[in-house]
């Protein structure tokens, strides 16, 4: 794309205002209930200025950084799917007529500007595109088409982050309109601003931005490289699909199942999870009906219900479904791994189940390995 | 006797047994015919030995109070019928009757067992085959028990 | 993605709680392949996947057989001619009738499983000379619960079709076979080296049938089943119908055993 520009905090404010002027509803990180949540913002004052997050398995805390960083944290429990596939969206309305019924289109969705989308989230949106766009899903497609993305490259990963392992960060390479990298240190506080699309170029050109100096670019890039080296966790992805497919009957699933509460937190916070259900409602007098789509989770007991009972009745079978879908079957379905390494599921699991650890244990206790290592089989093989 | 031998020597049930062994079995057999709806045996009567159905259809029934006789299994030409002759109390546990004209070979259970006692190899060969038949029947009965086509709400 | 309002032409009660609906198709030129399903909508109540049981050679009629097991199917089976139901579809993969040409075809089904196989059989009969032996093995709970009994009788009368029917139990008035449908396999005539099998029924019945067929030598790429899973959207979006990496609504419902062999035998997948 174009050469990197530099703006300061005022420039960021101007960016937000420009987007609002262009008719976008600008949504970005805010602090509420001691959590970073995505909501409407009108200026940088709405952002979690000087806030850092401390995340670990089953743990999420915010604390003061003691500085003025606008983006000194990573991700909270929400992701942009909150806006692209909002729970409870009515996507179909019907009116009873003399002949039967007729359908009516649902309302026009707003145009969103996603402000402060992390590289893992940008990757998650691309992954969800592969789920919703080929099917022509109205709800998602409309909102996605109209959206504008201002990404923020990460310079300080959380302990739960592992975007490096799955190749989704800590910086964006595609799928954004504008990417910002915040540099704060000593007496400098600037933002490297790079356009990723023509819209991005156009928006940036309206701001008071100057060309970045070489050392400014180097400093910004170095922060990102440093972040890559400082990842809290890793996920070993080599042969992951074959590993998980081969271990569907591994007894280890029962161990995880015993810990898992099937609370569905992980699926709610996961930026790529897309399972949904429909609610058909009728007016009391039967004159009209509507269908709404709402989020669902493969962890619920009746998710797989057929003929009097669920197919996956044990919590271990449901955990296995989620993990193998996310890391293995997703690859056959959508040609990519379903996980972006954001670490939300680890932080927001009340019992601290860690997807990177579980995958590692399965790898260690791979039943294919064990089969070869028992003495009788070893002898036969030799 | 050679008539029975000729009838069973090619039968898949006896595949792998020697002609001598098959001859011993054949010597305990008698060909019998049944007319339409004729009863082969009734529940509770003495189980004298297995039958090999040569031709025709045989229905196994249980009398169920309130529902009348219920057919629980049908057997057809080539199938063996009966295992109650193997163990005490040697009494049939269901009724068997033919749907239409049928022909079968009735084997003498006690004589088969005597022959097996004196020739354990023969006994083993027979046991292998009868237990396989039992296992297959058990498998089928299990599925029938599950009532897989029933509607549940 | 919206249900298209379609007029109900007729409702026929097949069995105690099984009905066949004949509905005007959603548009001119509508057609379907055997094995496919639609998402049928009862206004204000809900939507459910229902197999198409009609004749694929006559797409001017949308014929579907429904078993009433809950509020949506209750509503769908309580309609009268002239009422309107919503239709989306057809969705899903089809029985590979072309793949089966040139050899023997075994159709093995039980209970309401005959409904999604009926279109396949009708298509095969329409092109009968492309197949060798065609056999239908059908199992039901009892003689009074045979689906499409009149048509079964008709099919039994044909010389180019072997029809073997069994029930789980019966009273004396039934003179036919009693026992599991797998017991009929031994009486069917087919060359295990080349025959193709289409199997549809309760999953347990399919499991035992597949085992028996494989024992006889029918390899898993010639064995096709119709899988069933919970469906909310029918188009691969809601995630409910996943079976391993397959979305039963779009990769299935018809899948070959070769495709599902890694997951079919594992519990609770």
Q: Kindly report, residue by residue over B43-97, the tens digit of the pLDDT.
A: 999 999 999 999 999 999 998 788 788 999 999 998 999 889 988 889 999 999 9
> What average pLDDT does range A124-138 have in this prediction?
95
Which residue in the block uniquely carries the two structure tokens 């540099």?
A: A183
pLDDT of residue A379: 61
pLDDT of residue C181: 94
Measure B74 CA to nearest chain C CA, in Å.
5
> What average pLDDT does range A371-382 have in this prediction?
59
C-alpha distances out from residue B92 to A197, B31, B84, C50, C171, Å: 85, 20, 6, 47, 20
Which residue in the block uniquely carries the two structure tokens 């050109």?
A: A205
Shortest CA distance to C15 belongs to which of C138, C150, C204?
C150
List the single residue in A with minimal CA-CA distance to C244: A329
Does residue A381 have a pLDDT over 60?
A: no
Tokens encoding C205? 């019945």
> What average pLDDT does range B8-32 have in this prediction?
94
Does residue C30 have a pLDDT over 60?
A: yes
> What average pLDDT does range A337-365 have in this prediction?
97
Where residue A370 falls among pLDDT bands split at 50, 70, 90? low
Q: What phi and psi, each to the nearest 5 degrees, are found at residue A106?
A: -80, 175
Among the partner residues C112, C177, C201, nearest to B74 by beta-carbon distance: C177
The 10s digit of each residue's pLDDT in C83-134 is 999 999 999 999 999 999 999 999 999 999 999 999 999 999 999 999 999 9
What gap in Å lies between CA A137 and CA A132, rounded to an integer? 5
Measure A107 CA to nearest chain C CA, in Å.
15
- Determine contact: C49 vs chain B, CB below 8 A: no
Where residue B153 falls among pLDDT bands split at 50, 70, 90? low
Helix, strand, coil: what percent of chain C each, to 5? 25, 30, 45
Contact C38, C50 (CB under 8 A): yes
Of residues A288 and B153, more confidently modeled: A288
pLDDT of residue A56: 97
Contacts of A310 in chain B (CB under 8 A): none
- Give the count of beta carbons closer than 10 Å to the beta carbon of residue C213: 24
- Beta-carbon separation of A307 and B153 below 8 A: no
pLDDT of residue B100: 85
pLDDT of residue A100: 87
> What average pLDDT does range C150-171 have in this prediction?
95
pLDDT of residue A107: 81
Helices (H) and strands (E) in chain A, counts: 16, 16
pLDDT of residue B64: 79
Contacts of B137 in chain C (CB under 8 A): none
Contact C110, C202 (CB under 8 A): yes
pLDDT of residue A380: 61
pLDDT of residue C221: 96
Q: What is the mean pLDDT of chain C?
A: 95
- Determine contact: C208 vs chain B, CB below 8 A: yes
> What average pLDDT does range A31-58 have in this prediction?
97
Spatial neighbors of C222 by CB under 8 A, at least 6 apart, are: C194, C195, C196, C197, C256
Does residue A124 have a pLDDT over 80?
A: yes
Spatial neighbors of C149 by CB under 8 A, at least 6 apart, are: none
Among the partner residues C230, C233, C245, nearest to A329 by beta-carbon distance: C245
Interface of B with C in 66-85 (CB under 8 A): 67-74, 76
The 10s digit of each residue's pLDDT in C219-259 is 999 999 999 999 999 999 999 999 999 999 999 999 999 99
- Beta-carbon separation of B72 and C178 below 8 A: yes
pLDDT of residue B152: 61
């Amino acid at each position: 794309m174009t050469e990197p520009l530099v703006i300061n905090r005022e420039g960021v404010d101007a960016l937000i205002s420009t987007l609002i002027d262009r008719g976008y509803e600008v949504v970005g990180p805010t602090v509420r209930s001691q959590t970073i949540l995505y909501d409407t913002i009108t200026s940088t004052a709405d952002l979690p200025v000087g806030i850092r997050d401390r995340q670990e398995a089953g743990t999420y805390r915010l604390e003061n950084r003691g500085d003025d960083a606008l983006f000194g944290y990573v991700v909270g429990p929400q992701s942009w799917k909150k806006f692209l596939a909002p729970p409870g969206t009515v996507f179909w309305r019907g009116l009873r007529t003399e002949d039967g019924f007729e359908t009516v289109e649902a309302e026009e969705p707003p145009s969103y500007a996603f402000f402060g989308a992390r590289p893992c989230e940008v990757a998650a949106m691309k992954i969800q595109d592969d789920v919703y766009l080929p099917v022509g899903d109205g709800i998602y497609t409309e909102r996605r088409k109209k959206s504008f993305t201002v990404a923020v490259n990460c310079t300080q990963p959380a302990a739960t982050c592992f975007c490096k392992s799955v190749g989704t960060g800590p910086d964006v390479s595609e799928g954004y309109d504008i990417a910002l990298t915040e540099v704060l240190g000593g007496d400098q506080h600037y933002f490297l601003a790079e356009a990723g699309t023509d819209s991005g170029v156009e928006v940036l050109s309206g701001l008071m931005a100057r060309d970045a100096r070489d050392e400014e670019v180097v400093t910004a890039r170095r922060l990102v490289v440093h972040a890559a080296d400082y990842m809290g966790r890793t996920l070993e992805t080599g042969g992951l699909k074959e590993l998980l497919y081969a271990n569907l009957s591994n007894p280890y699933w029962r161990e995880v199942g015993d810990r898992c509460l099937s609370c569905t937190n992980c699926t709610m916070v996961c930026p790529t999870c897309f399972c949904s259900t429909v609610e058909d409602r009728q007016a009391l007098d039967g004159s009209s009906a509507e269908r709404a789509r709402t989020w669902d989770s493969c962890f619920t007991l009746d998710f797989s219900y057929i003929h009097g009972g669920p197919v996956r009745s044990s919590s271990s079978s449901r955990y296995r479904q989620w993990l193998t879908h996310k890391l293995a079957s997703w690859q056959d379905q959508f040609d990519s791994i379903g996980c972006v390494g954001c670490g939300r599921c680890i932080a927001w699991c009340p019992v601290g189940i860690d997807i990177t650890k579980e995958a590692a244990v399965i790898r260690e206790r791979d039943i294919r390995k064990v089969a070869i290592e028992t003495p009788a089989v070893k002898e036969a093989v030799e | 006797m050679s008539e029975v031998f000729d009838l069973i020597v090619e039968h898949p049930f006896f595949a792998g047994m020697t002609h001598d062994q098959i001859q011993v079995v054949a010597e305990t057999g008698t060909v019998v015919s049944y007319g339409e709806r004729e009863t082969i045996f009734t529940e509770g009567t003495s189980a004298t030995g297995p039958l090999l159905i040569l031709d025709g259809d045989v229905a196994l029934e249980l009398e169920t109070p309130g529902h009348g006789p219920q057919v629980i299994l049908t057997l057809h030409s080539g199938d063996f019928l009966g295992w109650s002759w193997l163990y005490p109390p040697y009494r049939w546990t269901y009724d068997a009757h033919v749907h239409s004209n049928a022909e079968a070979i009735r084997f003498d259970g006690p004589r088969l067992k005597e022959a097996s006692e004196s020739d354990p190899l023969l006994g083993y060969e027979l046991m292998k085959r009868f237990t396989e038949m039992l296992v297959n029947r058990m498998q089928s009965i299990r599925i029938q028990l599950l009532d897989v086509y029933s509607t549940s709400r | 993605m919206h249900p298209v309002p379609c007029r109900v032409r007729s409702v026929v009660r097949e069995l105690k709680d099984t009905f066949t609906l004949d509905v005007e198709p959603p548009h001119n030129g509508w057609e379907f392949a055997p094995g496919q399903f639609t998402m049928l909508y009862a206004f204000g109540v809900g939507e459910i996947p229902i197999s198409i049981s009609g004749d694929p050679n006559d797409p001017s009629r949308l014929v579907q057989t429904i078993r009433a097991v809950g509020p949506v199917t209750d509503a769908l089976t309580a309609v009268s001619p002239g009422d309107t139901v919503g239709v989306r579809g057809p969705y899903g993969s089809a029985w590979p009738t072309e793949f089966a040409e040139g050899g023997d075809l075994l159709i093995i089904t039980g209970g309401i499983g005959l409904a999604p196989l009926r279109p396949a059989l009708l298509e095969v009969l329409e092109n009968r000379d492309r197949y060798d032996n065609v056999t239908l093995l059908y199992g039901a709970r009892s003689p009074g619960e045979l689906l499409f009994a009149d048509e079964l009788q008709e099919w039994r009368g044909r010389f180019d079709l072997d029809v073997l029917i069994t029930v789980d139990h019966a009273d004396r008035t039934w003179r036919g076979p009693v026992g599991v449908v797998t017991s009929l396999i031994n009486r069917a005539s087919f060359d295990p080296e080349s025959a193709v099998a289409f199997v549809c029924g309760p999953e347990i019945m399919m499991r035992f049938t597949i085992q028996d067929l494989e024992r006889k030598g029918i390899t898993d790429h010639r064995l096709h089943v119709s899988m069933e899973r919970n469906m909310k959207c029918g188009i691969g979006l809601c995630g409910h119908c996943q079976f391993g990496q397959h979305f039963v609504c779009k990769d299935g419902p018809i899948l070959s055993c070769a495709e599902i062999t890694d997951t079919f035998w594992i519990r609770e997948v």
